């Protein structure tokens, strides 16, 4: 990983800092907020990730020349007021503090190399709290590490989780499908083939005790490809599929339909009376990536076949990678649903982040060359905030 440039970031123009003759001192988390967004730019020969830092959710653009550059598809995370960058070309995680002048100071580093990893993909990592995090290993295992000491403390198995079912292999959900609630971590697993086309009709949700890192139980869920999780105001958890499991039911009549499951607040059992398909709410179309917003309302990507030829020769990536999706708002209580105002067709693999009561959408072009950052307003309309080069899919609040 290349060492980040020492040039000031966007934050430097907004925060008070030291003079040029002074040496910045890390005084820990300050009162002003800090946010970070990472965007990766790919080319045939190489790729790089640019990490930007700013102190307002109302920024109107990113100056990538002032961002911190890391080699490859680097990833970011945040906990306890510190920013973490996982190497895209090395298995290292680097921790940074944000100084008064807006620059980043490295305050720790460690490597997963002893576990066979060649990169440190934080999209497979789950920050439990400031002293505990889980990095997926060989899909079903976990590396346990401490963000405060930057040390690996051991590994953990998931007894009972099958590596293979009906010829399909188990896959660990990404960070988008991992939730902490009431001292427990909930993480989805599913079974698919090497092309992410065929999916087992069911998934499992693992419940881990954060007190001793043990697996408490595995919850069977009757939906394929669960890989997105959100939580509502009452503490209910919702798990839905990612875009890949939506291709087969579009192309094959007997493929398992996508659906959403719920685990009620305070419980570790599936609410079997609630499980539902959102397809009926959106005109019989296939859906992906349901995310809860507020007041019983969520958003979900909906596949629109109006401009797509569906026949025996249609490739799955036409569904999973093409800009043939629209984002819909769905009301879980009333059943009402409608496309989000202001948005045109998008790729199905969208990301959404709820930060300080505001919802931001990261919508890439189908070739991932650019990403538009939108804000979804309380009135249901979406407003475009700015656009950046590359694929931006991580947006975190550092403090």
Task: Indicate whether 260 belongs to any domain.
Answer: no
3-state DSSP call for residue 386? strand
pTM of the predicted model over 0.75: yes
Give the pLDDT score at 24.
45
Backbone angles phi, psi at 59, to 5 degrees: -65, 150
Task: Indicate whether 233 belongs to any domain.
Answer: no
Would you give the end-to-end CA distance of the chain in angstroms? Answer: 25
pLDDT at 8 over 50: no
| pLDDT tens-digit series, residues 304-329 | 999 899 999 999 999 999 999 999 99
Task: Indicate whether 311 belongs to any domain.
Answer: no
Torsion of CA 346, 240, 352, 234, to 10 degrees: 140
The structure tokens listed for 163 are 């590596």
Task: Indicate whether 398 belongs to any domain.
Answer: yes
Residues 6+ apart with CB under 8 A from 314: 251, 308
Mean pLDDT of 330-352: 94
**CB of 229 closer than 8 Å to CB of 177:** yes
**Nearest to residue 308, comparing CAs of 372, 251, 368?**
251
Give the pLDDT score at 323.
92
| pLDDT tens-digit series, residues 330-339 | 999 999 999 9
Instruction: Assign 31 a pLDDT band (cuts: 50, 70, 90).
Output: low
Task: Indicate whether 63 belongs to any domain.
Answer: yes
Please state the domain count of the chain: 1
**CB of 97 closer than 8 Å to CB of 27:** no
Task: Indicate whether 242 belongs to any domain.
Answer: no
Task: Indicate whether 301 belongs to any domain.
Answer: no
Phi-psi region of 150 (alpha: psi -120 to 50; beta: other; left: phi over 0): left
Task: Indicate whether 132 belongs to any domain.
Answer: yes
Mean pLDDT of 76-89: 97
**Domain range enclosing 398:** 1-157+386-399
CA distance 302 to 283: 10
One-character DSSP codes across 139-189: TTEEEEEETTTTEEEEEE--TT--SEETTEEEEE--GGGEEEETTEEEEEE
CA distance 15 to 32: 8
CA distance 37 to 363: 13
């Amino acid at each position: 990983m290349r060492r980040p440039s020492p040039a000031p970031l966007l934050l430097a123009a907004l925060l008070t800092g030291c003079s040029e003759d002074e040496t910045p001192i890390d005084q820990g988390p300050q009162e002003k907020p800090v946010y970070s967004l990472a965007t990766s730019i790919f080319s045939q020969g190489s790729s790089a990730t640019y990490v930007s830092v700013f102190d307002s959710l109302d920024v109107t653009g990113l100056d990538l020349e002032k961002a911190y550059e890391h080699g490859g598809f680097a990833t970011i995370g945040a906990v306890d007021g510190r920013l973490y960058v996982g190497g895209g070309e090395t298995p290292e995680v680097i921790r940074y503090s944000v100084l008064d002048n807006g620059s980043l100071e490295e305050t720790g580093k460690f490597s997963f190399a002893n576990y066979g990893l060649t990169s440190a993909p934080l999209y497979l990592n789950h920050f439990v709290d400031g002293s505990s995090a889980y990095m997926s290993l060989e899909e079903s295992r976990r590396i346990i590490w401490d963000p405060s000491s930057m040390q690996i403390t051991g590994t953990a198995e998931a007894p009972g989780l099958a590596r293979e079912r009906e010829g399909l292999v188990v896959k660990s959900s990404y960070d988008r499908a991992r939730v902490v609630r009431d001292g427990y971590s909930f993480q989805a697993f599913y079974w698919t083939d090497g092309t992410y086309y065929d999916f087992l009709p069911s998934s499992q949700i693992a419940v881990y005790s954060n007190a001793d890192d043990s697996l408490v139980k595995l919850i069977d869920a009757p939906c394929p490809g669960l890989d997105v999780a959100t939580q509502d105001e009452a503490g209910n958890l919702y798990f839905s599929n990612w875009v890949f499991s939506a291709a087969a039911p579009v192309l094959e009549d007997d493929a398992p339909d996508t659906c959403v499951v719920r685990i009620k607040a305070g419980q570790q059992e599936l609410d079997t009376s609630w499980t539902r398909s959102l397809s009926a709410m959106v005109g019989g179309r296939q859906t992906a990536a349901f995310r809860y917003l507020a007041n019983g309302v969520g958003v979900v990507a909906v596949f629109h076949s109006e401009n797509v030829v569906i026949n025996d020769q249609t490739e799955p990536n036409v569904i999973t990678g093409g800009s043939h999706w629209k984002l819909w708002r769905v009301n879980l209580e009333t059943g009402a649903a409608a496309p989000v105002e202001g948005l045109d067709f998008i790729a199905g693999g969208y990301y959404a982040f709820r930060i300080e009561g505001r919802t931001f959408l990261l919508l890439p072009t189908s070739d991932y060359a650019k990403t538009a950052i939108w804000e979804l307003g309380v009135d249901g309309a979406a407003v475009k905030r700015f656009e950046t080069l590359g694929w931006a899919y991580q947006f975190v609040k550092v403090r």
